[in-house]
Each structure stands twice: as structure tokens, then as C-alpha cells.
Copies of this chain bind each other. A is one copy, B any other.
Amino acid sequence: MKKIAVFTSGGDAPGMNACIRAVVRGAIYHGLEVYGIRRGYNGMISGDIIPMNSQSVSNIVQLGGTVLKSARSKEFMTPEGRKKAYENLMAHGIEGLVAIGGNGTFTGAEVFFNEYQLPTVGCPGTIDNDLYGTDYTIGFDTAVNTSLEAIDKIRDTADSHDRVFFIEVMGRDSGYIAIQSGIGGGAEIVMVPETRTPLKKVVGTLKEGWTRKKTSSIIVVAEGDEEGHAAEIADKIKSQVGDKLDIRVTTLGHIQRGGSPTAYDRILASRMGLNAVEGLIKGEKNVMAGIINNEVVFTPFIDTIKKQKPIHEDLLRMVHILSI
């Protein structure tokens, strides 16, 4: 293998730049030439492929977002799109790919590999931490800390006004951000898609706190909770408790995607980027380079997409114990 290319695809995540840097410098260290593909699969199709050297990735380890830009590509879902992509890669002599992204990225990579057998190793980059085959994904730790800082700020005002706050965090199919930021932020309740939290129970907890003269409360809701968005849940609760409680709602939104990555994410991303390059060299293909129990583990793309990552039951239990 002499030439590889790297790209970021799907939703961006803090730490993607640290990963790109590790891929580029790791490749150079091992004597490979390395290219960057801009805007994910779209750039592959349009031929937006640029040579990268050590300087290309100077001073980016601390930046949020992705210097290679990212996108979701409809055209790559068509055989024609993938054909063009393959031809462009061949024109550059590229023999291996590092794909940084999440579920959608790996779904595309899987299909592409089955058609063209171009060795591809993935790095899990998504703030949601919802990929099977790795303990943590790039961007998750930063997103949790961003949410936590927001919760800390909101608690200042919640306490000053004796209010109940419903705070919606990201996680369409996954409660990881909600649980971790909820425990870290001292939330009374955390509502996640993976388990049912009956509204009766929420009302009960709030009433009980109210009896104990606990006048402010934080409830963290993952956007994908089965009871609906935070605003809907808050409305239902209001209709049950009346105006005894002063209830407010905040949806944290896109701030969770950005920001300078934490130490954890920079190191994780650097390891994964390097592991992906060294994996390619050793002949890995059609797999994601995850880290489980501090060891590199290569998991077939098909498993990362299809298999369900279990939620931390013990953490959910902790939310309850720590809020008494």
C-alpha cells in the first residue's frame, strides 16, 4: 500500500481534526502518501481530492468541526455515484481509505467495499456514542462536557428562582449524552429512548421533592425519548401539577456539536486515526477501528451498523440513588 485517503462524513464531531491529523502524520511516518477528500462522499464523487502533508494538519488538533468539511451524500446511494467515486480514487492511485464518521458513513462504506473491494477502515466519529464496537466515539466526551456546562449554568438560575427545568440534549436513538450529563449535572431524572420513564413517575418524583422543600429540579431528556421532546413532556407535566411548580424548558441544540475537543477526545481521536492507518497497512478492511477496554478492536462495518450498543444500566440506577 502506497497511497491512502481520508475523509469525514455525516454529522461533524469535535476531535475529527485530531483524527485527520493522526491519519496524515501516521501515514507519513509509515512511508505512505496521503490525500484528503473534501465534503465526504460528495468530494469523492466530484473529485475534490487534495494531497496532504505534515503542514496541512499543523495547529488543527484543538479545533472543533472538520477541516475536510463533511456532508451527507444522496448521490453516493446510487450505483452511478459510487462508480464515479471509485474512478476518481483510482485516478489518484488510492489503495486504501480511512472513513471518519458514524452509522451512515459506515453503511456507505460497507456497500462501497462490497462493490469495489477497496480496503477501508473506519474511525467512529459521532457525538452520540451509539456505535457498536467501541466504548466511546470521537466527540462524545466533548458533547457531554458542553451539555454539562450548560446544565451547570441553568442550575444557577433554577436555584435562584426555585424552578423545574426540562433540558433536552442530543441523542435521537441513544441516551448516552443524557445519562452522562445528567449524572454529572446532578439531575433528578434522566429520560432516554432505551428505557421507558412513565410520566407518572416524573410527577411523583417532582411532588415528593416539593414535599421535601426541594424547590429546584433538573430533568434531562434525550431528544429521542419515547414520550416526545422536552417541550411536549413539560406541557404534559404542567397539566398534571398545575402552577405549584414553575416549569421551564431549554433545548441545548447545535452547541453540542462544536467547540474545542476535550483532552479525552483528542487522545481518543489520535489513537483511532493512527490505529486505522496501521490497520490498513496490516490488511484490515471493511472494519471500524474501535477501542474496547483500552485495546484496539476491529469490528466489521456490518456489525457496527446492525448491532445495538447496550446502555449503561448501572448509570441509570445511579441517577436515582444520587438524587435522593
Residues of A within 8 A of B (CB): 8, 12, 14, 21-22, 25-26, 28-29, 39, 54, 59, 61-66, 69-71, 135, 141, 144-146, 148, 150, 152-157, 159-162, 165, 180-181, 183-186, 248, 250-255, 257-260, 262-264, 266-267, 270-271, 274, 293-294, 314-315, 318, 321-324
Contacts and interface: CB of A to CB of B under 8 A. Distances in A.
Contact of A250 (B29, B63, B253): B253
A274 B69 contact: no
A318 B275 CA distance: 11
B258 A153 contact: yes
Contacts of A162: 39, 69, 71
A157 B12 contact: yes
Contact of A251 (B29, B39, B251): B251
A39 B314 CA distance: 32
Given A54-B324, A61-B184, A135-B294, A157 B257 contact: yes
Contacts of A322: 21-22, 25-26, 270, 274
A309 B184 CA distance: 28
Copies of the polypeptide in the assembly:
4
**Interface residues of A, dominant DSSP:** helix
A34 to B, nearest CB: 12
B156 A259 contact: yes
B267 A156 contact: no
B260 A262 contact: no
B61 A28 contact: no
A145 B263 contact: yes
Contact of A324 (B29, B66, B293, B315): B29
B250 A324 contact: no
Contacts of A186: 59, 61-62
A263 B151 CA distance: 11
